[in-house]
Amino acid sequence: MPAQAYAGKECVCQFRKGICDQSCVRDMLETPLYIACLKLKGRNCLVVGGGDVGLEKVEGLLACDGDVTLVAPDAHPELQRLAEEGSITWHRKRYEPGDLEGKFMVIAATNDSEVNIGVYYDAEKRAMLVNVVDVPPLCNFILPAIVRTGPLAIAISTAGASPALAKRMKREISELFGEDYARLAVILNDARGWAKSTLPTYQDRKEFFEGIVNGEPDPIELVREGRESEVLELIERHKERAAAALAAGNAVLAKPAE
């Protein structure tokens, strides 16, 4: 259960029940979430709240090249440093609805429930992405635990039911899918240009890459053993086979009917 929403604690959601009875989170596990990866480069992102959690969210947005604005009367020393060096814009004041103008998303990380509720409603009116930390009913998107290695990003979500379990899964997945997979992703990306310019259909390209990834020898094992040249040779062999199959198919189509 999210840290700020459990029975017996002061209500922090829009239902304003006084004491939480969990009614706002009962459907969490039944709500299907549409998983997507957002491209934040050059997009204006707002964080409301300058404490430890606000710092965590700012750093996450900066890691994805978002243009970050912080709204908070006071801020963590590291946030102050980021503002001083020009990495973020800090408006040293309390939140106002106008702070949302021109923003792509907003994350509220304050310890004031009324401010968080206000951010949620103001953002919903503007059809914006909004996340209030640890309060699922005040979110139209959630932030999963992320395993990030090079170009690879693996998201783990328990729909807010157990952040502790998500953290354990993150640790175990990071051990299982590490640098070897990231390196193979880079190598395969270099072959995408050839595939897109040579293989005419999605199905052709799908079979080409699946043949490499799922075939023998295992490219992951080759990368792990430092035999990247053999991975490149493997890719070249699959290129030759795919091109030959394509040529044979074209020849059959071009053959005049008898």
Top pLDDT among 84 and 202 is at 84
Q: Cis omega before residue 256 (within 30°)? A: no
* 100 contacts: CB under 8 Å, gap ≥ 6: 46, 106, 119, 122, 123, 126, 128
- Tokens 């029975």 belong to which residue? 7
Residue 162 clears pLDDT 90, i.e. is over it: no
pLDDT of residue 3: 44
Residues 105 and 122: their CA atoms lie apart, in Å, by: 12
User: Quick one: pLDDT band at residue 109, thresholds 50, 70, 90?
Assistant: very high
Place of tokens 């699946």: 210
Which of the residue ranges 58-72, 135-149, 172-186 would you say has the lowest mean pLDDT? 135-149
Residue 139: strand pairing partners? 131
Residues shown for the chain: 258
- Asked if pLDDT for residue 165 goes beyond 80, the answer is yes
Single-letter amino acid, residue 212: I
Which amino acid is residue 188, in one-letter code?
A: L
- Least confident interval from 4-8, 21-25, 211-215: 4-8
Residue 1: its pLDDT value, please? 33
Which distant-in-sequence residues (6+ apart) come within 8 Å of 221 by Cβ? none
Single pTM value for the model: 0.72
CA atoms within 13 A on the CB side of 99: 27
Q: What is the mean pLDDT of residues 217-245?
A: 96
Which of 77, 131, 122 is closest to 95 using CA atoms?
Answer: 122
> Could you report the per-residue pLDDT of 166-190, keeping only the tens digit for each?
889 999 999 899 899 999 999 999 9
pLDDT higher than threshold 50 for residue 138: yes
Using a 10 angstrom Cβ sphere, with 0-12 exposed, 13-18 middle and 19 or more buried, the burial of residue 1 is: middle
40 pLDDT band, cuts 50/70/90, is very high
Is 90 exceeded by the pLDDT of residue 159? no
Task: Say if residue 24's pLDDT is above 70.
Answer: no
pLDDT at position 134 is: 81
User: Is residue 2 predicted with pLDDT exceeding 70?
Assistant: no
- Look over the chain and give the mean of its residue pLDDT values, rounded to a whole number: 88
Evaluated on CA atoms 27, 28, 29, 35, the torsion sign reads positive
Report phi then psi at 10, rounded to 5: -60, 135
DSSP conformation class of 98: G
* 106 pLDDT above the threshold of 90: yes
What pLDDT was estimated at residue 46? 98
* Dihedral angle sign, alpha carbons of residues 193, 199, 202, 206: negative
Mean pLDDT of 200-213: 93
